[in-house]
């Protein structure tokens, strides 16, 4: 028995040379690619329904499809835990919004996945006082420990001896940004995507200084990673850039973030608290009947009527979902001003748009095109997709269609349309606004501390937009659409 134990010990020691991290079983042999990650605006998120997503999550799912193997996401609380999981051999790689840092020990890096802009954020009145790096002297800057941002902040410390730096662990960017907005922190180093996402609901957050050093997001591997995996990931990232896959995912998760103004956000948040609660059961019932997220239906309704069940447009559309008389009849709506009927009719109409779009359009692009068709009509959307194809643009991607739809108002392109000229730019504005409203509603309803933001106490502007009209006043009437 002692001999068996001794032989086993020798085999283990010889199989794991001193100084080398333990090697995880090859992903092909294991039957899955294990990825260490953390809940984060960029990397990974979960919905109340248990679905997972995120920019890096979706990109890695595509990688798994290329490897013909499932991806298993192992969620940790901090960047340090994520990287230690890779070093220990618990995961094949790490993807957690990591800044490429060649000085980090025991880690190999993939080629850059996307560019990062690291910024120092503050709130008023301090934001107005900081004009240059010298103005940071005497203040305390908070930064997450063991991050690229913490490394780059050392440049400022070298030139500004009076600068105080507080390095924190185990806290996410979203949590720190909330603390900054609440006045618990003075200055914070983060990246522009996290800042923009937080500023949607905390508009007092401002970028005051951009860190000068080059920053890139990448994936981390142990030093003894499989050469086959490293080579496959390198080729995959290169191809993802060439095929615009990364651009599409960036648009999916970040493209709408800066669409709304502070006035729009203030009005939306106010009406979330005063108008929306009455209609939530109706949205949920309609969502169950049409297999649609109730929050998306609520976002469409807000864009259309600002949740005013008596809203009426000069074009004749009316009600919470702003249905035309013809569309209401087709959807079985007898009274367009009855909120329950309007919501169900609008949900059916949206579902019809979504189901009528060709099967080659994936989600969520399919949903965004359906929102555009809700405004524009299915015939104009189909015509726009044909134009996109003639221009050699990807007509299955919303990021491409967003650029093509405004062409429908130009005579040279309108002549190609059976349905005639259309205000495609308004459909784009509507869709982008719906995406932004939907994102806010999702984040309010999120199980993740990173995503679930508290309702801010936003004081309504002195010139509050009139109910049912502030988006129309800014961009032209968005509720007039031809019946199918």
Quote the CA–CA distance of 12 and 200 in Å, as a whole number: 53
Cβ 173 vs Cβ 194: under 8 Å: yes
Structure tokens, 409: 């108002």
Structure tokens, 285: 């019932």
Of the candidates 46, 56, 250, 304, the residue annotated as catalytic is: 304
| Residues contacting 185, CB < 8 A, separation 6+ | 140, 142, 176, 179
* Residue 304 is among the residues annotated as catalytic for this protein: yes
Cα 410 → chain centroid: 32
State phi, psi for 470 to the nearest 5 degrees.
-70, -35
Closest CA to 25 of 61, 79, 72: 72
Angle, to 10 degrees, between the axis of helix 276-290 and the axis of helix 339-356? 40
Cα-Cα end-to-end distance for the chain: 81
**Is the CA virtual torsion 404, 405, 410, 416 positive or negative?**
positive
Rg (CA), the chain: 25
Cβ 122 vs Cβ 187: under 8 Å: yes
Question: What 8-state DSSP symbol labels residue 334?
Answer: S
Structure tokens, 202: 């905390």
What b/e readout covers 354-364, taking b as 16+ CB neighbours within 10 angstroms? beebeeebeeb
| Residues contacting 469, CB < 8 A, separation 6+ | 306
Cβ 443 vs Cβ 54: under 8 Å: no
Cβ 430 vs Cβ 410: under 8 Å: no
Quote the CA–CA distance of 62 and 450 in Å, as a whole number: 24
CA angle at residue 98 from 92 to 99, to 5 degrees? Answer: 130
Quote the CA–CA distance of 483 and 118 in Å, as a whole number: 47
Catalytic residues: 304
């Amino acid at each position: 028995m002692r001999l068996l134990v001794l032989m086993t010990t020798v085999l283990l020691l010889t199989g794991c040379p001193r100084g080398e991290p333990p090697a995880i079983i090859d992903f092909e042999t294991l039957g899955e690619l294990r990825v260490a990650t953390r809940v984060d605006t960029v990397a990974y998120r979960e919905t109340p329904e248990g679905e997972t997503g995120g920019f890096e999550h979706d990109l890695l799912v595509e990688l798994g499809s290329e490897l013909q193997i499932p991806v298993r996401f192992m969620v940790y609380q901090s960047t340090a835990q994520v990287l230690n999981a890779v070093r220990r051999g618990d995961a094949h790689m790490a993807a957690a919004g990591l800044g490429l840092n060649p000085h980090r020990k025991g880690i190999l890096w993939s080629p850059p996945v996307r560019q990062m802009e690291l910024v120092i954020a503050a709130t008023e009145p301090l934001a107005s006082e900081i004009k240059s790096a010298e103005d940071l002297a005497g203040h305390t800057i908070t930064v997450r420990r063991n991050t690229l941002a913490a490394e780059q902040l050392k440049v400022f410390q070298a030139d500004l001896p009076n600068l105080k730096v507080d390095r924190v662990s185990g806290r996410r960017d979203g949590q720190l940004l909330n603390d900054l907005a609440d006045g618990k922190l003075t200055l914070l180093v983060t990246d522009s995507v996290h800042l923009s996402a937080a500023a949607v609901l905390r508009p007092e957050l401002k970028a005051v200084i951009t860190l000068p050093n080059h920053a890139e997001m990448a994936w981390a591997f142990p030093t003894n990673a499989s050469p086959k995996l490293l080579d496959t990931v390198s080729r995959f990232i290169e191809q993802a850039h060439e095929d615009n896959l990364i651009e599409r995912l960036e648009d999916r998760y970040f493209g709408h973030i800066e669409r709304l103004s502070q006035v729009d956000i203030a009005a939306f948040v106010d009406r979330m608290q005063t108008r929306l609660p009455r209609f939530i059961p109706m949205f949920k019932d309609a969502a169950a009947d049409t297999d649609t997220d109730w929050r998306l239906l609520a976002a469409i309704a807000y864009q259309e009527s600002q949740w005013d069940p008596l809203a009426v447009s000069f074009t004749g559309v009316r009600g919470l979902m702003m249905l035309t008389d013809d569309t209401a009849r087709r959807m079985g709506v007898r009274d367009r001003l009855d909120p329950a009927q309007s919501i169900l009719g609008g949900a059916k109409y949206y579902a019809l748009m979504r189901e009528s779009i060709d099967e080659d359009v994936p989600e969520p692009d399919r949903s965004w095109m359906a929102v555009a068709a809700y405004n524009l009509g299915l015939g104009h959307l189909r015509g726009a997709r044909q134009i996109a194809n003639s221009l050699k643009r990807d007509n299955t991607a919303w990021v491409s269609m967003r650029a093509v739809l405004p062409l429908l108002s130009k005579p040279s392109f309108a002549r190609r349309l059976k349905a005639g000229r259309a205000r495609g730019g308004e459909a784009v504005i509507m869709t982008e606004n719906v995406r932004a409203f939907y994102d806010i509603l999702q984040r309010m309803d999120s199980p993740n501390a990173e995503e679930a933001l508290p309702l801010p106490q936003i004081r309504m502007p002195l010139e509050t937009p009139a109910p049912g009209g502030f988006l129309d006043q800014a961009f032209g009437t968005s509720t007039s659409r031809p019946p199918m």
